[in-house]
Amino acid sequence: MLRFDPYAYEHHEDPFPTYRRLRDEAPAYFDEELGFWALSRHADVRSAVHDWQTYTSAEGITLETTSDATEPMIIEMDPPRHTQLRGLVSRAFTPRRIAALEEPCRSLARKLADRIVPAGDCDVIAEFAAILPMAVISWMLDIPEADQAQLRAWSDAMLHRAPGDPNVTPAGIEGATNLFIYFDQLVAERRERRGDDLVSVLIDAEDDGKRLTHNELLGFCFLLIIAGNETTTKLIGNALYWLWRYPDERARLLADRSLVTPAVEEVLRFDGSTQAMARTLTRDVDLHGHTMEAGRKVLLLFGSANRDERFWGPTVDTFDLDRDTTGQLAFGHGIHFCLGAAIARLETRIALEELLWRMPDYHVVEDGLERVHSGNVRGYSRLPLEFTPLS
């Protein structure tokens, strides 16, 4: 019998066989135990993310019920307020601001690599991949370096789920509370003393006489810390893992640096860090012989859509640097396409450029691997590597 439990630890280890069965046997899958629908085919997922009138984000983008106390995030809004806020927030993600991140991001990546490569072994998550994205977010928000590790720990706690349980853990609730207190104070301080950071920019941003509310600014900070930090950390780890598992592709990359960008795009398709997001139905929808009822949550499986042979062809389960990845849904699509996609691509590209050529023979220590356990984020919390040390 086919059962899809997004909170099962065994599912986190390898979800792709289950995804294939869902696409073949139950493209509109209903889970009796948790009471949600799931869409797994590329065409269905892409159609749903474009139909915000039917698949609303306003009830949250995870299966668990959104608390009324949760700060409003743009990712959990529909037009017209979504359109207005996205216009305001986009001013903080201009090409100029993103391009300005390249030099400091690369400088930090080199500094972190300098610490790693002489030793011959490392946990690349703890010593590199978890540090770089958090630093970039912190530069954007002007958060002191001394606070970054604690913010990352609170963010990690919010994502973690116990086996088979969709609810936020007590540690996650504590982490969310602490993040709220921290960002509430940060926003208040920036109102009193502006800087060149994104919060200051957004405080002053105005559209048709309307500005972001205090709570909307808090929601923006939450979104950056969670979506902009955790997902990129996991994406860097996934990239290093799969380049190890496909040594011929890694050899090609080492011989040709121009393949770094295609490598990032293929990782996004092959094993992106955001595997799923939920929507809530505003009306009944008939699909694949079933009626999905209004009010039900629907899990949109981006990770499955990016492996759907109906769209990608028969080699979908092969990691291939020559693949045309046009159409991959790792960053969503439509009105909710990830605002930070360019930053995530920048950070992952720099990570590969600064690590691969300095530890070209790295090997993953498989018995030391540890996964993050979340309903929608896939990746490693620990990824130990061994390699020939360089002086």
Q: What would the two tokens of residue 356 be?
A: 């691969």
The model's pTM is: 0.92
SS3 112: helix
Q: 363-372 burial, b for 16+ CB within 10 Å, e for fewer? A: ebeeeebebb
Amino acid of residue 344: A
Question: Residue 391 domain-assigned?
Answer: no
CA dist 243 and 213 (Å) reads 44
Question: Residue 343 domain-assigned?
Answer: yes
CA atoms 159, 162, 168, 172: torsion sign: negative
**DSSP H/E element including 28:** strand 28-31
Pick from 42, 13, 94: nearest CA to 325? 42
Question: Residue 2 domain-assigned?
Answer: no
CA dist 362 and 357 (Å) reads 10
Domain extent at residue 263:
9-386
pLDDT score recorded for residue 222: 83
pLDDT score recorded for residue 207: 59
Question: Residue 3 domain-assigned?
Answer: no
pLDDT digits (tens, 9 = 90+) for 90-119: 877 888 888 999 999 999 999 999 999 999
Amino acid of residue 141: L
CA atoms 310, 313, 314, 318: torsion sign: negative
Give pLDDT < 70 ranges for the chain.
Answer: 65-71, 164, 206-209, 391
pLDDT score recorded for residue 368: 97
CATH code at 82? 1.10.630.10
Question: Residue 372 domain-assigned?
Answer: yes
pLDDT digits (tens, 9 = 90+) for 43-64: 999 999 999 999 999 999 988 8
Question: Residue 125 domain-assigned?
Answer: yes
Going by C-beta distance under 8 Å and a sequence separation of 6 or more, which residues neighbour residue 67?
none
Phi-psi category of 363—alpha, beta or left, where left has phi over 0 and alpha has psi -120 to 50? beta
pLDDT score recorded for residue 206: 66
pLDDT score recorded for residue 298: 98
pLDDT score recorded for residue 263: 98
The count of domains in the chain is 1
Report the half-sphere exposure of 163 (CA within 13 A, side-chain side): 5
Question: Residue 1 domain-assigned?
Answer: no
